[in-house]
């Protein structure tokens, strides 16, 4: 069972918006055991859209199309459907009532252009859209299922969850079960991670009950390892997935912070909660980003005491107790200052753990001995205080993000007693 996704809109091709619809739909189809083999983006041109519909019908069982169902002149998808399927538009009373109801709820008369949305291709089954005026359209022809949906994400998601997925579950039984799990790592480059794992064949080699694939997905803040399992029997697949995860964790477990899509901030928060610890943060170069990331997690008030943005030397001395002599002798961006900031915020807030950042985010402020990207991250608890030195990138915003995540990773490893 295979599928093709077609996203329509010039705004995608010129980079004005990110094609998140394709990512969402791919995940949903994968969960049903349906493999997405092609993703196409096409502009608002009739000939291009019809060409892609023709190609998709020849090669795929399921074709999902998003975009171009609105009421304006550049929304041409229905016109393309009419030509491709050699059908005509007919007025649908139920769709019109739905459109009318949405406008009446806002005490607005239905605009003439929106009346057009009640005209649907004769061969299509309309799929109600509780979040917009454009219905989805379901068409089955020559053993291929076409589903046309609005490009607006929350409308597309509603139609997918409410109509498309139930239809696919009922009408398509896949031969194999597709399972997936992603392991999130931090603090190790892709190449070193691969070295840690050794011969990949020893982990994913040919298996008796199915096939296993392992993909490395690197980014500036870590490497994700995606495991795909393709089996005929779900029980065998679950066991195969568990076996593969255990082998990877045995090799590189200390770098893996999540195996269930949890963000690093949530992982650290759960550890703090579990160990009944509180944390306070003193930030200079990260400008409050660590505090923001921690408090993005619901329930963080149980373990987050306070955050201090001590950007100037005056603030470092006044709010955190950093010594004047330390700043004069070693500078604001130094191991000693980072340590005193972490220790100071812990003592002032009466927290169990204090974390600090001080660095040169760039693009200015560097010296020969202290380049752009230099960051010291301090850590302090009742037993130990230390600081670690990092040299990141030349980009200011990336440096702030990476430093913030490294601070959280240091806390995670300390809580788990990982060296």
* Residue 30 clears pLDDT 80, i.e. is over it: yes
> Sorting pLDDT into bands at 50, 70 and 90, what band is 105?
confident
**Average pLDDT, integer, range 280-292:** 98
* Residue 193 clears pLDDT 80, i.e. is over it: yes
Q: CA Rg, the chain, in Å?
A: 27
Asked if residue 186 and residue 309 are part of one domain, the reply reads no
Q: Can you tell me whether residue 375 is helix, strand or coil?
A: strand
Asked if residue 131 and residue 24 are part of one domain, the reply reads yes
Contact between 375 and 394 (Cβ < 8 Å): no
What is the sign, positive or negative, of the torsion defined by CA atoms of 329, 344, 385, 284? negative
> Sorting pLDDT into bands at 50, 70 and 90, what band is 107?
confident
> Sorting pLDDT into bands at 50, 70 and 90, what band is 255?
very high
**Average pLDDT, integer, range 298-309:** 97
Measure Cα distances from 399 to 256, 361, 404 in Å.
22, 6, 8
Q: Show the tokens assigned to 288.
A: 């409050």
**Average pLDDT, integer, range 293-305:** 97
**Average pLDDT, integer, range 204-212:** 78
Each residue of 82-93: b (16+ CB within 10 Å) or e? bebbeeebeebe
> Domain holding 411: CATH number?
3.90.950.20
**What is the per-residue pLDDT for 276?**
98
> Sorting pLDDT into bands at 50, 70 and 90, what band is 410?
very high
Q: Closest Cα partner for 295 from 284, 287, 306?
A: 306
For the chain, the domain total comes to 3
Final residue belonging to a domain, choices 236, 258, 280: 258
Contacts of 387 (CB under 8 A, 6+ apart): 335, 336, 338, 339, 342, 356, 376, 377, 378, 379
- Phi-psi region at 166: left, alpha or beta (left = phi > 0; alpha = psi -120 to 50): alpha
Contact between 31 and 171 (Cβ < 8 Å): no
> Domain holding 254: CATH number?
3.30.70.2860
Asked if residue 150 and residue 27 are part of one domain, the reply reads yes
* Residue 206 clears pLDDT 80, i.e. is over it: no
Final residue belonging to a domain, choices 171, 206, 239: 171
> Domain holding 18: CATH number?
3.40.980.10
Angle made by CA atoms 87, 90, 91, in degrees to the nearest 5: 165
> Sorting pLDDT into bands at 50, 70 and 90, what band is 261?
confident
Global confidence as pTM: 0.76
Token pair 């016109």 is found at: 79
> Sorting pLDDT into bands at 50, 70 and 90, what band is 110?
confident
Asked if residue 105 and residue 240 are part of one domain, the reply reads no
DSSP label at 241? H
**What is the per-residue pLDDT for 26?**
94
* Length in residues, the chain: 419
Asked if residue 276 and residue 404 are part of one domain, the reply reads yes
Percent of the chain's residues with pLDDT above 70 = 99
Asked if residue 103 and residue 47 are part of one domain, the reply reads yes
> Sorting pLDDT into bands at 50, 70 and 90, what band is 5?
very high
> Which strands, in side-by-side order, build the sheet including 35-42?
35-42, 2-8, 62-66, 144-149, 136-141, 125-127
Cα(123)–Cα(31) distance, integer angstroms? 29
Asked if residue 158 and residue 12 are part of one domain, the reply reads yes
Strand 144-149 with 62-66, pairing = parallel
Would you call 260 exposed, middle or buried from its count of C-beta atoms within 10 A (0-12, 13-18, 19+)? exposed
**What is the per-residue pLDDT for 146?**
98
Contact between 238 and 212 (Cβ < 8 Å): no
Contact between 412 and 264 (Cβ < 8 Å): yes
Asked if residue 331 and residue 239 are part of one domain, the reply reads no
Q: Helices 264-274 and 396-415 meet at what angle, rounded to 10? A: 30
Cα(166)–Cα(19) distance, integer angstroms? 24
Asked if residue 272 and residue 123 are part of one domain, the reply reads no
Which range marks the domain in which residue 282 is found? 264-415
Contacts of 221 (CB under 8 A, 6+ apart): 186, 401, 402, 405
Asked if residue 231 and residue 212 are part of one domain, the reply reads yes
**What is the per-residue pLDDT for 205?**
77
Asked if residue 248 and residue 102 are part of one domain, the reply reads no
**What is the per-residue pLDDT for 113?**
80
Cα(120)–Cα(374) distance, integer angstroms? 60
Measure Cα distances from 288 to 116, 254, 291, 309 in Å.
50, 27, 5, 6
pLDDT tens readout for residues 77-102: 999 999 999 999 999 999 989 888 88
For the chain, what is the mean pLDDT?
A: 94
Final residue belonging to a domain, choices 171, 192, 220: 171
Percent of the chain's residues with pLDDT above 90 = 80
Asked if residue 236 and residue 166 are part of one domain, the reply reads no
Cα(363)–Cα(385) distance, integer angstroms? 30
* Residue 269 clears pLDDT 80, i.e. is over it: yes
Contact between 61 and 140 (Cβ < 8 Å): no
């Amino acid at each position: 069972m295979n599928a093709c996704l077609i996203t329509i809109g010039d705004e995608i091709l010129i980079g004005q918006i990110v094609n998140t619809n394709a990512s969402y739909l791919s995940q949903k189809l994968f969960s049903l055991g349906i493999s997405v083999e092609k993703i196409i983006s096409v502009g608002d041109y009739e000939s291009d859209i019809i060409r892609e519909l023709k190609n998709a019908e020849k090669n795929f069982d399921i074709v999902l199309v998003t975009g171009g169902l609105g009421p304006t002149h550049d929304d041409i998808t229905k016109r393309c459907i009419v030509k491709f399927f050699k059908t005509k538009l007919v007025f649908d009373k139920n769709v019109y009532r739905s459109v009318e109801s949405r406008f009446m709820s806002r005490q607005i008369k239905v605009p003439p252009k929106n009346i057009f949305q009640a005209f649907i291709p004769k061969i299509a089954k309309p799929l109600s859209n509780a979040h917009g005026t454009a219905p989805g359209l379901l068409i089955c022809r020559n053993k291929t299922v076409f589903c046309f949906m609005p490009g607006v994400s929350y409308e597309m998601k509603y139609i997918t969850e409410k109509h498309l997925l139930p239809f696919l579950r009922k009408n398509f039984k896949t031969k194999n079960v597709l399972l997936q799990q992603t392991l999130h790592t931090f603090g190790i480059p892709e190449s070193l991670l691969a070295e840690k794992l050794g011969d990949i064949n020893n982990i994913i080699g040919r298996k008796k009950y199915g096939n296993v694939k392992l993909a490395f997905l690197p980014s500036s803040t870590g490497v994700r390892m995606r495991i795909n399992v393709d089996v005929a029997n779900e029980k065998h697949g679950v066991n195969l997935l568990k076996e593969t995860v255990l082998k990877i964790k045995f090799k590189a477990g200390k770098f893996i912070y999540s195996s269930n899509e949890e963000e690093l901030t949530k992982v650290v928060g759960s550890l703090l909660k579990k160990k009944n610890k509180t944390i306070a943060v003193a930030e200079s170069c990260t400008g409050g980003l660590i505090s923001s990331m921690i408090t993005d997690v619901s329930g963080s008030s149980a373990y987050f005491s306070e955050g201090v943005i001590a950007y100037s030397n005056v603030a470092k001395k006044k709010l955190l107790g950093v010594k004047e002599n330390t700043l004069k002798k070693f500078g604001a961006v130094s191991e000693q200052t980072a340590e005193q900031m972490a220790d100071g915020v812990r003592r002032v807030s009466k927290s169990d753990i204090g974390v600090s950042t001080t660095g040169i985010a760039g693009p200015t402020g560097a010296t020969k001995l202290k380049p752009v990207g230099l960051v010291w991250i301090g850590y302090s608890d009742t037993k130990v205080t230390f600081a670690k030195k990092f040299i990141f990138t030349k980009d200011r915003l990336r440096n702030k993000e990476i430093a913030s995540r490294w601070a959280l990773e240091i806390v995670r490893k300390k809580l788990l007693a990982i060296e």
